Amino acid sequence: MIHYEDLTEGDSVDLGPISPTAEEVVDFARRYDPQPFHLSDEGAKNTYFGTLAASGWHTAALTMKLMMTGRDEPLASLGSPGFENLRWHKPVYPNDALTARVTVAGKRLSKSRPEMGLVQFAVETRNQHDAVVMSFVSTSMMARREPG
Amino acid sequence: MRYWEDFEIGAIERYGAYEVTEAEIVEFATAYDPLPFHVDPQAAKDSPYGALTAPGLLTCAIFMRLLVDHLLLDAASLGSPGVDSVRWTQPVYAGDTLSVRQEALSKRVLESRPEMGLIKNRFEVLNQNDELVCEIASNGLFRRRESPGAPA
């Protein structure tokens, strides 16, 4: 398990790749984001996307999966209070190969909860052309190996 | 059909009633956020949360569904460049029913694309007890009803 102590400010890791199939893109959109351009090629014609594109929240969920499961060991995460500056820079299309570059942007101990620390991750999700498709900065509550 | 002009600053809308089930929490968490307190009811009982809780991104996805159903499918929506901030303020448990409170904070025409405008909204996701579970500051792009250069 990767604990608070194991993360050093400035450390960066590339996780993935992961590729959503067209079926997965459509399944996610049917449940959570049923706008025409996320449901079929036909519905995406004459829009910004051109062809079927993944919901931005699907891209965020896939990136979360890489953050939680993409390392050699699982993160000793206790949850998250939130994230900031989420930007969807480019469309994600079915079968794009997504990787997440996760950089430790900051860390500090929690005053009120000595069993954990707060870690800021700067995250960039890229496609197979090395273009950034999404970025955000998240905060994670990470368990300490030796609670203070 | 709602266009950029139809959004009034300060206007508040309240909508949605989405029941979060244990099955949906486990399914979403298994796919995207497999922490023990999201996927394993027993482990969740022994965690500080006391019971199975929804991944924060499931709350965001449910918010999106309510926004699409209430607003976007009947609006000249052109997507979103992003979300300024998301705060998860309380756990969402299986059996909770979520709704959305929306307030338009500001709006402006895009200088580079005068046929569209941006609206900044503050969204609150509330549970059945009207407790705030998630707060979202977001941006939406909408076509203008009367845009320069549009066909008459």
pLDDT in tens, A61-75: 999 999 999 999 999
Q: Report pLDDT for B146.
A: 80
**Residue A14: inside a domain:** yes
Contact B82 A64 (CB under 8 A): no
Nearest chain B residue to A29 by CA distance is B65
Q: Any CB–CB contact under 8 A between B80 and chain A?
A: yes
Q: How many domains does chain B have?
A: 1
* CB nearest to B60's CB, from A57, A65, A87: A57
Q: Report pLDDT for A132.
A: 98
The 10s digit of each residue's pLDDT in A28-44 is: 999 999 999 999 999 99
Contact A65 B62 (CB under 8 A): no
φ and ψ at residue B101, rounded to 5 degrees? -115, 125
The 10s digit of each residue's pLDDT in A112-141 is: 999 999 999 999 999 999 999 999 999 999
Residues of B with Cβ-Cβ distance to A69 under 8 angstroms: 34
Distance from CA of A29 to the nearest CA of B (A): 9
CATH number at residue B23: 3.10.129.10
Residues of B with Cβ-Cβ distance to A32 under 8 angstroms: 61-62, 64-65
Residues of A with Cβ-Cβ distance to B87 under 8 angstroms: 81-82
Q: How many domains does chain A have?
A: 1
Distance from CA of A74 to the nearest CA of B (A): 9
Q: Report pLDDT for A147.
A: 81
**Residue A148: inside a domain:** no
**Residue B150: inside a domain:** no
Q: Report pLDDT for A31.
A: 98
Q: Which of B21, B27, B64 to mutate to test the interface with A (most CBs of A within 10 A)?
A: B64
CATH number at residue A139: 3.10.129.10
* CB nearest to A81's CB, from B53, B64, B88: B88
Print the domain residue range for B12.
Answer: 4-143
Q: Report pLDDT for B152.
A: 45
Q: Report pLDDT for B148.
A: 64
A8/A72 Cα distance (integer angstroms): 17
Residues of A with Cβ-Cβ distance to B92 under 8 angstroms: none
Token pair for B128: 């059945």
* CB nearest to A33's CB, from B68, B85, B86: B68
Are A59 and A125 a contacting pair, CB within 8 Å? yes
B39/B32 Cα distance (integer angstroms): 11
Contact B88 A82 (CB under 8 A): yes
Contact B35 A84 (CB under 8 A): no
pLDDT > 90: what percent of chain A? Answer: 97
Whether the bond into A17 is cis, omega within 30 of 0: yes
Q: Report pLDDT for B150.
A: 54
pTM for the whole structure? 0.96
Give chain B's residues under pLDDT 70: 147-152
Print the domain residue range for A82.
Answer: 4-143
Residues of B with Cβ-Cβ distance to A87 under 8 angstroms: 81-82
Read off the DSSP letter of residue B115. T
A110/A94 Cα distance (integer angstroms): 40
Read off the DSSP letter of residue B21. P
**Residue B41: inside a domain:** yes
The β-bridge partners of B19 are: B97
The 10s digit of each residue's pLDDT in B81-105 is: 999 999 999 999 999 999 999 999 9
The 10s digit of each residue's pLDDT in A57-112 is: 999 999 999 999 999 999 999 999 999 999 999 999 999 999 999 999 999 999 99
pLDDT at residue A1 is higher than 80: yes
pLDDT at residue A148 is higher than 90: no
**Residue B122: inside a domain:** yes
Residues of B with Cβ-Cβ distance to A88 under 8 angstroms: 79-82
Read off the DSSP letter of residue B109. E
